[in-house]
């Protein structure tokens, strides 16, 4: 319904109704499943497509329809957007935006826009120079660049409309997230937790680029936008200026809590949900206290940014467990009633089910092997740390599970309302860590920790179907490398994901049986999407180009002899093959005609 207000689609639907395929299309024409209008597919972050032309009976025949180079190298983590008869994508730095014409099978380029972000921003991107996608509203493509600018580009022509600097990359502030559009606002947050950058989320007017509000993740209540409406469920989140008082001195000013994950929005509650990343520095001895409001989740009013509730997944985070993983909004039968919940697979290893109106934790169950904590106390909401795995300055802590990228990092899950399973691309890694005092030098890493990760040779990657009602794994597949791509679920009862060694796979959503696999020219850390092209048929698209934190050993040409390289990930990724062609590409798959 929302999308039909957009002229491009309305025109297209009208055209289709008048064509000979009208009968076939009409039923689905009003369905948002035709397009992929935001990186997450929908506001609920389900990444579920209602298209079912490609299904378990014919997916074996899926073929590569088009392959278009992006012109960039390194980790291609973005989700393509599909609006009307165009597909839009953003590359890693230099963040070029490409628009392809879907009316022709060979996907000719409609336009290319180069925002030309500063090259020096590459030096402060913690985990490869990635972008996770674009936003779209009012005929504008909303772009966030690595050097912390927001830009609007005319979707029809690729012409720049406005440009708003949002941060100072020379202090370590970057943007890697996909802008989220709610109403007439574009919501964009910063990255830079590894530089002690203070986290924020800003709301920009889509038409003008003017900043309407900004909400910080640390500091006084007015900066965090905590007011009379703020009613957190747990007592430990109540009090004045906790964003200052749960830190030593002025440590909150370089305390991280960045906002770089995917946002969710519930129109009925009028709440936006966003996570906050790790506190800085990594060395926890330098920041005694809960370090509010890092490694948690906020529910905010989109119009004003006011917080309504907050919950902290990892108070006083010990292991770089960012809290920015996606929140998938679903309705579940719990305790005999249908409840509006959010599902959150956290880096700390627990699959949380929260009442999304109040922030109450209904359940929290491990989905990997965990030894850093012994569970979540549902009465207080507290994560129960195991002291044996608490890093102490100057000491070595061995066999910390999960490792810093967590049980699951940014790679987004998918939900199928047909199987009622949550599909998690993730990893099982442990690490050794040694911490030491870090000096805060703006624009340089603020870590105070050396870590070396380790995963089993049989498989560091997992693709897990989680049943949130039964609170257990329904089925699971192992992969050699962390599954660093997103997941996609479709009404054809298929789930898709890609591997870092270059296989794009389709599984039966019910039991995980591998039904189709396609060799890509390079590893993929992209987000698969589904759409219906103007020809009336379903297509699946994904970007290939290996990188990201897990793939930086290849993308950044790191030396594999140093296991502490790439934030300690090199030790677990020494055997990642480097593709002969490092350039990224867009792949489109469909059924042969």
**Which of the residues are catalytic?**
194, 278, 320
For residues 180 to 199, the per-residue mask of contacts with other proteins, x marking binding by CB under 8 A and - elsewhere, is --------------x-----
Q: Which stretch binds other proteins (CB under 8 A): 13-21, 22-30, 376-384, 557-565?
A: 557-565
Residue selected from 500, 571, 576, 586 as contacting other proteins according to rule CB under 8 A: 571
Binding mask 378-397 for other proteins (x = CB under 8 A): ------------------x-
Task: Tell me the closest approach of the beta carbon of residue 193 to other proteins, in angstroms.
Answer: 12
The residue (of 361 and 447) whose beta carbon lies closer to other proteins is: 447
CB atoms within 10 A of CB 170: 15
The answer to whether residues 307 and 299 touch, using CB atoms and an 8 Å cutoff, is: yes
Query: Is 403 near other proteins (CB under 8 A)?
Result: no
The answer to whether 148 and 170 are in contact (CB under 8 A) is no
Round to whole Å and give the CA distance between 259 and 346. Answer: 15
Backbone angles phi, psi at 448, to 5 degrees: 70, 30
DSSP-assigned letter for residue 578: P
Retrieve residue 376's tokens. Answer: 């979540």
What spatial distance separates the first Cα and last Cα of the chain, rounded to whole Å? 31
Rule CB under 8 A: say whether 568 interacts with other proteins: yes
The smaller minimum CB distance to other proteins, of residues 94 and 461, is found at: 94
Is 298 in contact with 276 (CB distance < 8 Å)? yes
Coil vs helix vs strand at 211 = strand
Q: Which of 381, 405, 566, 590 binds other proteins (CB under 8 A)?
A: 566
563 scored as a contact of other proteins (CB under 8 A): yes
Residue 531 main-chain phi, psi, to 5 deg: -155, 165
Q: Which stretch binds other proteins (CB under 8 A): 74-82, 260-268, 338-346, 567-575?
A: 567-575
Of 102 and 197, nearer to other proteins (C-beta) is 197
Mark 424-443 with x for binding to other proteins (rule: CB under 8 A) and - for no binding. Answer: --------xxx-x-xx-x-x
Nearer to other proteins, 124 or 297 (CB): 124
Spatial separation of the C-alpha atoms in residues 435 and 568, rounded to whole Å: 13
Q: Which positions from 448 through 507 interact with other proteins, judged by CB under 8 A? A: 450-452
Q: Mask 246-275, x = binds other proteins (CB under 8 A)?
A: ------------------------------
Residues of this chain, 20-59, that bind other proteins according to CB under 8 A: none
As measured in angstroms, the least distance from the Cβ of 55 to other proteins is 43
Reported as type and span, the H/E element at residue 397 is: strand 396-400
Q: Which residues pair with 297 in a beta bridge?
A: 275, 311
Residues 124-163 that bind other proteins (CB under 8 A): 124-126
When asked if residue 570 is in the footprint of other proteins (CB under 8 A), the reply is yes
DSSP characters for 212-278?
EEEEESSSSHHHHT--TT---SSGGG-STTHHHHTSSTTGGGG-B----S--EEETTTTEEEEE---
By the rule CB under 8 A, 546 interacts with other proteins: no
Rg of the chain over Cα atoms, rounded to whole angstroms, equals 22
Regarding 119 and contact with other proteins (CB under 8 A), the answer is yes
**Count of residues that interact with other proteins, criterion CB under 8 A:** 42
Instruction: Give me the least distance between CB of 560 and other proteins, in Å please.
Output: 7
What per-residue string of b and e applies to 235-244 under the rule 16 or more CB within 10 Å gives b? Answer: ebbeeebbbb
Torsion sign (Cα): 265, 268, 270, 273: negative
**Least distance (Å) between residue 361 CB and other proteins:** 34
Smallest distance, other proteins to C-beta of residue 326, A:
25
The residue range among 64-72, 385-393, 504-512, 552-560 that interacts with other proteins, by the rule CB under 8 A, is: 552-560
Q: Do the beta carbons of residue 321 and residue 390 sit within 8 Å?
A: no
Strand 488-490 relative to strand 48-49, pairing: parallel
The residues of the shown chain that bind other proteins, judged by CB under 8 A, are: 119-126, 170, 194, 396, 432-434, 436, 438-439, 441, 443-447, 450-452, 552, 556-568, 570-571
């Amino acid at each position: 319904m929302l999308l039909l207000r957009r002229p491009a689609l309305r025109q297209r639907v009208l055209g289709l109704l008048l064509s000979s395929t009208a009968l076939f299309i009409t039923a689905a024409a009003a369905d948002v499943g035709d397009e992929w209008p935001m990186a997450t597919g929908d506001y609920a972050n389900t990444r579920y497509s209602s298209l079912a032309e490609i299904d378990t009976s014919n997916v074996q025949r899926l073929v590569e329809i088009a392959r278009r180079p992006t012109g960039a190298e390194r980790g291609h983590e973005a989700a393509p957007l599909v609006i009307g008869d165009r597909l839009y994508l953003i590359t890693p730095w230099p963040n070029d935006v490409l628009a392809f014409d879907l009316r022709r099978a060979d996907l000719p380029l409609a336009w290319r826009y180069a925002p030309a972000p500063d090259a020096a921003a590459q030096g402060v991107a913690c985990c490869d120079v990635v972008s996770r996608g674009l936003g779209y509203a009012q005929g504008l493509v909303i772009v966030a660049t690595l050097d912390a600018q927001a830009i609007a580009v005319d979707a029809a022509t690729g012409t720049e409309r406005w440009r708003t600097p949002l941060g100072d990359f020379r202090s370590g502030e970057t943007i890697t997230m996909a802008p989220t559009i709610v109403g007439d606002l574009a919501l964009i947050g910063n990255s830079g937790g590894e530089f002690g950058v203070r986290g924020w989320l800003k709301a920009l007017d889509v038409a003008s680029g003017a900043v309407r509000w900004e909400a910080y993740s640390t500091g006084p209540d007015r900066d965090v936008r905590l007011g009379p409406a703020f009613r957190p469920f747990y007592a430990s989140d109540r009090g004045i200026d906790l964003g200052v008082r749960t830190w030593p001195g002025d440590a909150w000013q370089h305390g991280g809590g960045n906002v770089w994950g995917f946002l969710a929005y519930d129109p009925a509650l009028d709440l936006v949900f966003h996570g906050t990343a790790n506190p800085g520095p990594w060395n926890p001895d330098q920041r005694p206290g809960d370090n509010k409001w890092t490694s948690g989740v906020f529910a905010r009013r989109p119009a004003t940014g006011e917080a309504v509730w907050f919950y902290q997944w990892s108070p006083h985070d010990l292991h770089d467990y960012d809290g920015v993983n996606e929140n998938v909004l679903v309705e579940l039968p719990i305790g005999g009633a249908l409840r509006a919940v959010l599902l959150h697979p956290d880096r700390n290893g627990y699959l949380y089910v929260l009442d999304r109106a109040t922030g109450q934790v209904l359940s929290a169950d491990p989905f990997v092997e965990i030894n850093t904590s012994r569970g979540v106390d549902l009465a207080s909401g507290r994560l129960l740390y195991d002291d044996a795995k608490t890093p102490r300055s100057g000491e070595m802590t061995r066999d910390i599970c999960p490792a810093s990228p967590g049980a699951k990092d940014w790679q987004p899950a998918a939900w199928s309302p047909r199987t009622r399973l949550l599909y998690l691309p993730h990893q099982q890694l442990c690490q050794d860590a040694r911490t030491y005092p870090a000096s805060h030098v703006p624009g340089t890493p603020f870590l105070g920790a050396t870590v070396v990760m380790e995963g089993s040779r049989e498989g560091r990657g997992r693709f897990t179907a989680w049943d949130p009602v039964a609170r257990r794994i329904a089925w699971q597949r192992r992969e050699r490398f962390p599954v660093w791509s997103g997941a996609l679920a479709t009404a054809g009862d298929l789930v898709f994901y890609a591997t870092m060694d270059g296989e794009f796979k389709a599984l039966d959503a019910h039991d995980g049986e591998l039904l189709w696999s396609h060799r890509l020219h390079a590893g993929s850390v992209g987000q698969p999407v589904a759409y219906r092209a103007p020809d009336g048929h379903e297509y699946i698209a994904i970007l290939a180009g290996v990188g990201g934190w897990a793939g930086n050993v290849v993308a950044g040409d790191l030396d594999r002899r140093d296991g502490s390289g790439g934030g300690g990930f090199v030790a677990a990724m020494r055997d990642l093959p480097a593709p002969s062609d490092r350039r990224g590409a867009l792949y489109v798959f469909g059924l042969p005609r």
